[in-house]
Amino acid sequence: MEPVTSQESALDGQSGTLEVSVWRGTSQGGDYQRFEVPALENQTILDVVSWIQHYADATLTYRFACRVGMCGSCAMMVNGQPRWTCRTHVKKVLKAGKVQIGPLRNLPVIKDLVADMDPFFDKWVTAGGAHAPSATRDDPIPPVDPQDAIRVEASAGIECINCSICYAACDTVAGNPDYLGPAALQRAWTLLNDAKHDAPHQILDAVSGVGGCHNCHSMGSCTVFCPNDLDPMSAIAGLKRETAKSFFRRRK
Amino acid sequence: MRPARAHPLWLAFVLHRVSGLALALFLPVHFWVLSYALTTPEKLNEFLSFAEQPIVKLAEFGLVFLLAVHVFGGLRLMAMEWLPWSGPQKSLAAGALGVAVLISGTFLLQVV
């Protein structure tokens, strides 16, 4: 397809253009398509993708919602690295006026930039990530001390926005499709340390089986790429510790 | 399409894996040579005089480095997974590499 030139660049009085390659296709096949997008002073990768969809090719499929780094919908591979596109400034990732945008790694691709998130969220459930309440609404609310050491561990992971960037960054996931992945395991660690969660042993069983926390090689790509500066690698180390402790305790 | 991997802990993983594989390949050969002490001591003597060559000493330096980096990298991983503390892993991985360089460098200086 012919590269599309900008109509807006003339309107804005700006001359520069970005050379953007965008993945078109599915898991079955496809290729990168080149677009020329007007370069603006303030511009995120999501802005670039939106510009292409608005002005160049309306059939481009991508996913976003909040545009402010809250919802976790817009993660994509940018120049081969997983990033939240709404908070990734073009200037930060541009290489010689070029940028490559693709769908998240380690997940099936539905179309273009939209990855199928089902395996990712299924693994949250498999890892025991669904909350099991320890009290009913009729019971008094038990106080939670935010300074408590166990609560501090739980609080470390609750800012996860389920964007799947850690899952896309993880080479262990790439090598083992059964591996639960950093996000699901960090969720399990958070719930394990949540005083109001009623099924800690279910979590330990869920994360110590095939594909569980002991598959992790502590490469730390999850922690490096997490856009919210969370630390799934240490959460998984915590799970390794607790599952091992529980293994030896049960043998006694 | 692969994410950029050249971050310190990923490199530490590669170093740990490669040194482990290399040591696993070295050990059977090592035991095989040692077995000459029991079966054919003259062959062992022959090998030991061959091992005096500078190129072999250089290879031994590499071996000491691999062993040291695997030991200290492994200690870092065990500390991370078994102690209730995660520590500055990047600095610890760099420290493991530093100690390995120090030990293997000392070894090299002593044999030359």
What pLDDT, on the 0 to 100 scale, is given for residue B91? 86
Count of positions (residues) in chain A: 252
Query: Quick one: average pLDDT of A234-240?
Result: 94
B79 Cβ contact partners less than 8 Å away, ≥ 6 residues apart: B85, B87, B92
The mean pLDDT value for A58-63 works out to 97
* A24, A32 Cβ separation under 8 angstroms: yes
pLDDT of residue B94: 87
Judged by a CB distance cut-off of 8 A, whether residue B9 touches chain A is yes
> Which pLDDT belongs to residue A6?
45
A-chain CB neighbours of B9 within 8 Å are 218-221, 223-224, 233
**Angle ∠(A162,A166,A171) on CA atoms, nearest 5:** 145
Tell whether B81 is within 8 A of chain A (Cβ): yes
C-alpha distances out from residue A90 to A42, A107, B99, Å: 8, 24, 40
Give pTM, 2 decimals: 0.87
Identify the pLDDT of residue B104: 87
Rounded-to-integer distance, Cα A214 and Cα A234, Å: 13
Is A183:A232 a contact under the CB 8 Å cutoff? yes
Q: Searching chain A, which residue's CA lies closest to the CA of residue B84?
A: A238
pLDDT at A7: 46
Chain B residues with CB under 8 Å of A216 CB are none
Cβ neighbour number for residue A48 with a 10 Å cutoff? 24
pLDDT score of B3 more than 70: no
pLDDT value of residue A252: 57
Chain A contact for B3, CB < 8 A? yes
Give the tens place of pLDDT for each residue, A176-189: 999 999 999 999 99
- For A145, phi and psi rounded to 5 degrees? -85, 115
What is the spatial distance between Cα A230 and Cα A156, in angstroms, rounded to a whole number? 7
Domain B7-111, classified CATH 3.20.20.150, yes or no? no
Q: Domain ranges for chain B, please list them.
A: 7-111
Contact A221, B90 (CB under 8 A): no
Highest-confidence segment of A148-157, A226-235, B90-99, B102-111: A226-235
Rounded to whole angstroms, how far apart are CA atoms A213 and A220? 13
Cβ separation B5–A217 shorter than 8 A: no
A9 pLDDT higher than 60: no
Distances (CA, A) of A134 to A47, A131, A198: 44, 9, 5
Q: In sequence order, what are the residues at sequence separation of 6 or more whose Cβ sits closer than 8 angstroms to the Cβ of residue A110?
A: A26, A61, A116
Contacts of A219 in chain B (CB under 8 A): 9-10, 13
Tokens, residue B1: 């399409």
Q: Dump pLDDT digits (tens) for A85-95.
A: 999 999 999 98
Whether the predicted pLDDT of A72 surpasses 80: yes
Q: What is the rounded distance in angstroms from the CA atom of residue A237 to the CA atom of residue A189?
A: 9
Instruction: Give the pLDDT confidence of B24-70 residue by residue, as tens digits.
Output: 999 999 999 999 999 999 999 999 998 888 899 889 999 999 999 99
Q: How many residues in chain B?
A: 112
Report whether A53 contacts A24 (CB < 8 A). no
**Interchain CB distance below 8 Å, A237 and B84:** no
Q: Is residue A17 within 8 Å of residue A5, measured between CB atoms?
A: yes
Give the model confidence (pLDDT) of A118-132 as tens digits.
Answer: 999 999 999 998 889
Residue A168 · residue A203 · CB < 8 Å: no
Residues of B with Cβ-Cβ distance to A78 under 8 angstroms: none
Closest-CA distance of chain A to residue B77, Å: 8
